[in-house]
Amino acid sequence: MVSEMKILTGMTIHNICWLLLESLPVPSYFTLSEELQQNQTAAEDIINTIKVLNNFLSEAEETCLMNELDPYMNKLRYEFDHWDDAIHGYRETERLQWNEENTKILDRVRKIAFPPDVAPIKFVHILDLDKNGWIKPHIDAVRFCGNTIAGLSLLTDSVMRLVHDKNKNLYADLFLKRRSLYIMKGVARFDYTHEILSNDNSIFKGEKVLKDRRISVICRNEPDPKYKDI
């Protein structure tokens, strides 16, 4: 018992935090800032409220989505000024009607992302990001969507960064692989800004991740009625 006490006394808080973090399963698509590594509660909160499902789409499914989206998206110009200054180099739309094959894909997304008692927004948000574009740090307005955001990543790999809204030293990077699905809710949705890094800053685990044109197909749930008039 005495020897165990000596061992514990000799350990630094940093060492103890690292031992705690090692017992916490950190998915391979995550990297955590040093301060987030040392805060087990915050680390658990972020890991448990955003998931990335790699290879959610097959190559054929990605092609099917693009075949339906491209004819319309290619008519739009890329914009370099966003109405709330959240995106640089983008074009976007909302889509309600889909062909049969893509309807099945979106139904699969909704089934995984939303519980049976949660109403998804019928319109799907399509965000087309230019190769040289990026999404700036932001938290999606609560008056426009609810507590869950689910996004398919098409055409390219990219890096998403989440930064705590009150403590900028708490941040995590996620590797969004091409054809993956991310699902963000709770703490990740409301307490952290999210962004897609520009190619100048797009690094994951020491490796450069060059983003090409990126299309996000995003499903959300209805906002809480108490926020609709904000």
The DSSP-derived string for 51-118 is: EEETT-S-HHHHHHHHHHHHHHHTTSPPBS--TTS-EEEEEEEEE----HHHHHHHHHHHHHHS-TTS
How far apart are alpha carbons 63 and 57 in whole angstroms? 10
Q: For 35-71, how does the pLDDT look when each residue is reduced to its tens digit (9 = 90+)?
A: 999 999 999 999 999 999 999 999 999 999 999 999 9
How far apart are alpha carbons 190 and 137 in whole angstroms? 13
Q: Please give the model's pTM, rounded to 2 decimal places.
A: 0.86
- Please say whether the beta carbons of 217 and 154 come within 8 A: yes
**What is the DSSP pairing of strand 171-176 with strand 158-164?**
antiparallel
Count of beta carbons in the 10 Å neighbourhood of residue 225: 7
Element of type H or E holding 31: strand 30-32
- Three-state SS at 42: helix
pLDDT of residue 16: 46
Burial class (CB in 10 A: 0-12, 13-18, 19+), 60: exposed
Q: For 123-173, how does the pLDDT look when each residue is reduced to its tens digit (9 = 90+)?
A: 999 999 999 999 999 988 888 888 999 999 999 999 999 999 999 999 999
Whole-Å CA distances, 76 to 90, 93, 180? 10, 9, 25
pLDDT of residue 82: 57
For residue 195, is pLDDT > 80? Answer: yes
Single-letter residue type at 138: H
Q: Average pLDDT of the chain?
A: 89
How far apart are alpha carbons 200 and 203 in whole angstroms? 9
Quote the tokens at residue 183. 């699902």
pLDDT of residue 223: 85
Kindly list the structural domains of the chain, giving each domain's residue range(s) and its CATH number in brackets, ordered by start: 2-227 (2.60.120.590)
